[in-house]
Every structure is written in structure tokens, then in C-alpha cells.
């Protein structure tokens, strides 16, 4: 593993250890970005991943980076090498993808952004570990086998730690966090569409407080 990847992986670990839940956010309206992020931070969820799934996602990252204090701001759903440059320029401080590919990993090597790549199988996790990625996103966590599957990887792959994301609920989070190879989970339940559309930021802050207290 190169020193550059090791340093970026240390940054990823620091983000994941900010709390048990990383908020996974889809921003559909730019006006929601800043108050949404502020509500999450106020509730104690400091790591926020804005997914690049909407036309306003990069602008949302840009606005949050400029206006919200105390947030570790990630760009998620990176699918192409150019996404690293776009995310970094917008102000993201880490990057996340649902899987990985040789081109994406090469781009990550060349980027200053700390990177959390996705893996769903033992082979994918081992391949990423060979490239120096000790910290990985287990995705889609529930469809890919759930708690029991990831538990089965802990002994043969002791050097890899995961952020389990994809179908993870608040009620199931303690079971995920009890695994020795899980340091955090990714949660989209913190920002349900109806609450975001209504601008009910106190309710989202309350969900964040509940998530921050999970162990």
C-alpha cells in the first residue's frame, strides 16, 4: 500500500468513527441542502454523504461546504473517474461508491479525496484490500446477505472494516454494529422524503439524535 492511500484511508477511518451512522442523503431541491445538513449536525450526525443522484447534488455539496460547520461532507454514488474531480471541486472531503472498477480505483489513486469503495463479496473485498483499501462500504448490505453474511467474513478477512449500507434500518443498526468488522452503517432513514419535502428540520434533527445514540 502506498503512503498516499494509507493516509487517505486513515482519513476515511476518522470519518467513520465520528458516529455509528453516516447519513446517506439524496437532495432533490437545492434549497433543502443547507437546512437539512444543519439539522443532521445539530442532532449529532456529523458524517453526511450527499449522493450524486440528482442534478443539484454537486451544487448541494458546494452549498453545504460553504455554509454548514462541523460536517464531514462526502460525495456518494461516484460512478466515473470524472466524479472525483467534480466532488473535490464542489467541496466534498471524502468519496463513496457503490462498487468499484479498475478505472475508478485508478482515479481514486490520483485524487486527493479519501475514498470508501463498495464491495459485496469476499472476492471484491480482497481485491480492494490488495489495492490498500482496508475500509470499505458493504453494499447493498441487506440484499447482499445481511448481518450473518458480513459476520462470516470477519474471521477470514480480519484486516478489513466495513460501513454497512443498503437496506439498513434504525432497529437493525445495533446488530450490525455488534459485528467486529463493522465500524459504522450508512443510513438513509434519517432523511425520509416526506420530512425533507415538508422542511421538517426539527423532526430530522430528532432522527439524527436517535441515530447518534445507537450502539
User: Strands, E, within the chain: which ranges?
Assistant: 21-25, 47-51, 72-76, 94-96, 115-116, 118-119, 135-138, 161-165, 182-187
β-bridge pairing 161-165 and 135-138: parallel
Annotated catalytic residue within 69, 124, 137, 148:
137
Tens-of-pLDDT digits for all 215 residues of the chain?
689 999 999 999 999 999 999 999 999 999 999 999 999 999 999 999 999 999 999 999 999 999 999 999 999 999 999 999 999 999 999 999 999 999 999 999 999 999 999 999 999 999 999 999 999 999 999 999 999 999 999 999 999 999 999 999 999 999 999 999 999 999 999 999 999 999 999 999 999 999 999 98
Q: How far is CA 21 from CA 79, 119, 157, 177, 182, in A?
A: 23, 18, 23, 10, 11
Which residues contact residue 178 at a Cβ distance below 8 angstroms, ignoring those fewer than 6 apart?
none
CA distance 172 to 208: 16
CA distance 195 to 189: 11
Q: Which CATH superfamily is domain 3-212 in?
A: Aldolase class I (3.20.20.70)
Q: What cell does 40 get?
A: 443532521
pLDDT confidence of residue 2: 85
Question: What are the beta bridge partners of residue 161?
Answer: 135
CA distance 172 to 169: 5
Q: How far is CA 17 from CA 11, 25, 96, in A?
A: 10, 19, 16
| Domain assignments of the chain as residue spans, ordered by start | 3-212
Q: Which residue has 466515473 as its cell numbers?
A: 80
pLDDT confidence of residue 20: 98
151 annotated active-site: no
29 annotated active-site: no
pLDDT confidence of residue 135: 98
CB 10: neighbour CB atoms within 10 A? 12
The reply to whether omega before 140 is within 30° of 0 (cis) is: yes
Annotated catalytic residue within 49, 67, 130, 151:
49
Instruction: Look at residues 213, 176, 180, 206 and name the one whose alpha carbon lies nearest to residue 191.
Output: 206
pLDDT confidence of residue 1: 67
Three-state secondary-structure class, residue 90: helix
Amino acid at each position: 500500500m502506498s503512503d498516499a492511500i494509507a493516509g487517505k484511508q486513515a482519513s476515511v477511518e476518522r470519518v467513520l468513527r465520528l458516529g455509528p451512522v453516516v447519513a446517506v442523503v439524496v437532495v432533490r431541491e437545492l434549497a433543502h441542502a443547507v437546512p437539512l445538513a444543519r439539522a443532521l449536525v445539530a442532532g449529532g450526525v456529523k458524517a453526511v454523504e450527499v449522493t450524486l443522484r440528482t442534478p443539484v447534488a454537486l451544487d448541494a455539496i458546494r452549498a453545504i461546504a460553504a455554509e454548514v460547520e462541523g460536517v464531514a461532507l462526502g460525495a456518494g454514488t461516484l460512478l466515473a473517474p470524472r466524479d472525483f474531480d467534480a466532488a473535490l471541486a464542489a467541496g466534498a472531503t471524502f468519496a463513496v461508491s457503490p462498487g468499484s472498477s479498475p478505472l475508478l480505483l485508478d482515479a481514486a489513486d490520483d485524487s486527493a479525496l479519501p475514498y470508501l469503495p463498495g464491495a459485496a463479496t469476499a472476492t471484491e473485498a480482497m481485491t480492494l484490500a490488495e489495492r490498500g483499501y482496508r475500509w470499505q462500504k458493504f453494499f447493498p448490505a441487506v440484499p447482499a446477505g445481511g448481518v450473518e453474511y458480513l459476520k462470516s467474513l470477519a474471521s477470514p478477512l480480519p484486516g478489513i472494516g466495513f460501513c454497512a449500507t443498503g437496506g439498513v434500518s434504525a432497529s437493525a443498526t445495533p446488530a450490525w454494529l455488534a459485528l467486529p468488522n463493522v465500524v459504522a452503517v450508512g443510513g438513509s432513514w434519517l432523511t425520509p422524503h416526506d420530512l425533507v419535502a415538508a422542511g421538517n428540520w426539527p423532526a430530522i434533527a430528532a432522527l439524527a439524535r436517535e441515530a447518534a445514540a445507537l450502539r
